[in-house]
Structure 1
């Protein structure tokens, strides 16, 4: 269980080796998702979705889908994974990288030190060897 204050942003992360499961049990977040799976018919598709504790649903994020969470209210979410992190240092990129295509509701969020130091989306894809050959 994780508690977050408003204007906290977690991510953007991409995992090559496990699924993420999350549910908001109180509060609200905006979830950013981008398909980073080369060869996927929806590769490059991106969206942001508002998720609330008032109408809780479990969100399943498959391997290769880049994701971040921006909390707009005091919030509590429960988070689980199908495997332990293998390469966390290589799985992050800047939350506001324009290549992500996310429309976040914040402009100067609270970030973890790791997320604040993250590089570009393209660099993250290259480290994962996921960058399409035409990029």
Structure 2
């Protein structure tokens, strides 16, 4: 029995990958392999950290970006809308934005590379489990406003509950060049 997923490049943003995971169901429940480092051989996974985020419906977390960390997300409870913005100036999809819905009923993973801003809106109460390839480092936590008019991520909502940190995120045009992804 193989549990390897279908790795599917995102159709809008370069290097973002969706993994369509195979769930094996029986009368006891279900099993799905959710991650193998070999699925993303371009990443050094030697300093892996796993995180869990529980959010109430209506919460928005993001947009965040990193210089030294990739993310791999799986929704284990509920449903979210992920917002993505390619902030890498050398990328063929620079400043392209997209959304993708993830939910616990359809097991999929989402690989987010360095320099792609990411966040999510909780469509229901939810739990997001995610792996990162570096231990937490506050100096690698960066953000851009979730409702930035230049990026214009199509969240499908006009208001949300945000943390003080995310409310303080600057507009893209107000982030100095040296503080942006390269």
- Could you say which TM-score interval applies, normalised by the shorter chain? 0.7 to 0.9
Residues 79-107 of structure 1, C-alpha deviations (whole Å, 9 max, x = no match): 22111335245x11111011122111322
Q: C-alpha separation between the residues in 1 aligned to 2:168 and 2:97? A: 23
Which one of 130, 133, 138 corresponds to residue 79 of structure 1?
A: 130
Residue 52 in 1 paired to residue 92 in 2? no
The aligned runs of 1:1-135 (5 Å cut-off) are: 1-83=52-134, 84-88=136-140, 91-124=142-175, 126-130=177-181
Residue number in structure 1 paired with 2:14 = none
Q: C-alpha separation between the residues in 2 aligned to 1:13 and 1:125? A: 16
Q: How many residues align?
A: 130
Q: Which runs of 5+ in 2 are unaligned?
A: 1-51
> Higher strand share goes to which structure?
2
Report which stretch shifted further, 2-11 or 105-114: 105-114
Q: CA RMSD in A?
A: 1.7
Q: Which runs of 5+ in 1 are unaligned?
A: none
8 Å Cα contact 2:68/2:140 also seen in 1: no
Q: Whose relative contact order is higher, 1 or 2, with alpha carbons under 8 Å and at least 6 apart? A: 1
Q: TM-score, length-normalised on structure 1?
A: 0.87
In structure 2, the CA distance between the partners of 1:20 and 1:130, relative to structure 1 (3 Å rule), is: closer
Runs ≥4 in structure 1, deviation > 6 angstroms?
none
Q: C-alpha separation between the residues in 2 aligned to 1:122 and 1:85? A: 25
Q: C-alpha separation between the residues in 2 aligned to 1:127 and 1:12? A: 18
Residues 95-120 of structure 1, C-alpha deviations (whole Å, 9 max, x = no match): 10111221113222111110011111
Q: C-alpha separation between the residues in 2 aligned to 1:85 and 1:62? A: 17
Q: Give the match's secondary structure for 2:108.
A: coil
